[in-house]
Amino acid sequence: MTKRGLYTAVIAALAAVLMTAASLLAVALLAPPPGAVMHRAPVCSAPSLPGTTVRVTETDMGAGMRGRPMMGRPMVSRDMRLALDRASVPRGQVSFAVTNLGSVPHELLVLALPAGQALGGRPVAADGTADETGSLGEASASCAAGTGGGIAPGAASWVTLDLPAGRYELLCNLPGHYLAGMSAELTVT
Ligand SMILES: [Cu+2]
- Please answer whether residues 23 and 136 qualify as being in contact, where contact means their C-beta atoms are separated by less than 8 angstroms: no
Nearest by Cα to 151 from 142, 143, 159, 161: 142
Query: Per-residue pLDDT for 81 more than 80?
Result: yes
Calculate how far, in angstroms, residue 106's C-alpha sits from the geometric centre of ligand 1.
4
Mean pLDDT in the chain? 84
pLDDT score for 7: 66
Q: Encode pLDDT of 27-80 as tens digits.
A: 555 555 554 555 566 899 999 999 999 999 999 986 544 445 444 444 455 689
* Ranges 2-16, 18-32, 90-104, most confident: 90-104
pLDDT score for 42: 80
Task: Provide the pairing of β-strand 81-84 with 108-112.
Answer: unpaired
CA distance 169 to 138: 12
Calculate how far, in angstroms, residue 127's C-alpha sits from the geometric centre of ligand 1.
14
Query: Per-residue pLDDT for 160 more than 70?
Result: yes
* SS3 call for 102: coil
Backbone angle region of 176, left / alpha / beta, with phi > 0 → left and psi within -120 to 50 → alpha: left
Calculate how far, in angstroms, residue 12's C-alpha sits from the geometric centre of ligand 1.
50
CA distance 55 to 85: 5
Q: Is residue 85 exposed (0-12), middle (13-18) or buried (19+ Cβ within 10 Å)?
A: exposed
pLDDT score for 70: 47
Calculate how far, in angstroms, residue 151's C-alpha sits from the geometric centre of ligand 1.
9
Nearest by Cα to 176 from 101, 137, 125: 125
- Please answer whether residues 38 and 101 qualify as being in contact, where contact means their C-beta atoms are separated by less than 8 angstroms: yes
Nearest by Cα to 187 from 37, 84, 63: 84
pLDDT score for 62: 67
Residue 54 C-alpha from the chain's centroid:
10
Calculate how far, in angstroms, residue 94's C-alpha sits from the geometric centre of ligand 1.
21
Q: Which secondary-structure segment (H or E) carries 168?
A: strand 166-171
pLDDT score for 39: 53
CA distance 86 to 177: 22
* 28-37, 91-100, 158-167, range with the lowest pLDDT: 28-37
